[in-house]
Copies of this chain bind each other. A is one copy, B any other.
Amino acid sequence: MPDSGQQLGRPRDSHIDHAVLAAARGLLAEVGYSRVTMDATAARAGVGKAAIYRRFGSKAELLFAASVHDMSIEPPPDTGSLRGDLHALARLIHERLGNPLARQVTPALMAEMVRSPELAARLQQTFVAQQRADFAALLERAERRGELPRPLDPALAHLLLSGPVFMALFAFQDPVDDTVLGEIASVIAAGLVARSAGPAPG
């Protein structure tokens, strides 16, 4: 019985949750993170500002929730080869971070993380763990196929593949061609194989 208490008072209207998030997403797409205002969001959702602040403690939390809302988290496919798997995963990451909403929100979120460790922690738990699991599965498949003689750290693979995509999108503001994603996957695949076969680190 984790929640024994009976809820008192008028319950939150879940229509409002959706209306607010939809309004926030719409505004994000139209005017960009910094020009989204709480007043405009409330007006667009047909809602009072208090109803928003009851749900989200600040603009940052609202826009984070709005951008995360329906982010698909399907696992990456098994393509039959390490290189193919990496390429597929690179595409997935690129889609997740490169869509219009994410391109608006992600940099702003990174800026907020600097001053809000709680937000940072929440984001880590929400995303990093999930993605690291994807990488662990991918490396395990490669091991089973015999492509990797020795197990590798999923965190390292995660950095190696996601980092370039992330940097291209947010530091260079440059969407990445699928050919380039393929090249990245190739280099990382070859490098991981060599590393796995080579001397132990240290």
Q: How many residues of A contact B (CB 8 A)?
A: 48
- One of A16-24, A135-143, A178-186 contacting the partner: A178-186
Q: Measured between alpha carbons, how far is A198 from B113 in the docked complex, in Å?
A: 41
Chain B CB within 8 A of A35 CB: yes
Main secondary structure of the interface of A (DSSP, over half): helix
A 94-117 binary contact with B (CB < 8 Å = 1; else 0): 000000000110011011011100
Interface residues of A in 158-202 (CB under 8 A from B): 159-160, 162-168, 170-173, 179-180, 182-184, 186-195, 198, 201-202
**21 CB-based A-B contacts, threshold 8 Å:** A32-B114, A33-B111, A33-B114, A103-B114, A107-B107, A107-B113, A156-B183, A159-B184, A160-B188, A162-B167, A163-B163, A163-B164, A183-B201, A186-B191, A186-B195, A186-B198, A187-B192, A190-B194, A190-B195, A191-B192, A194-B194
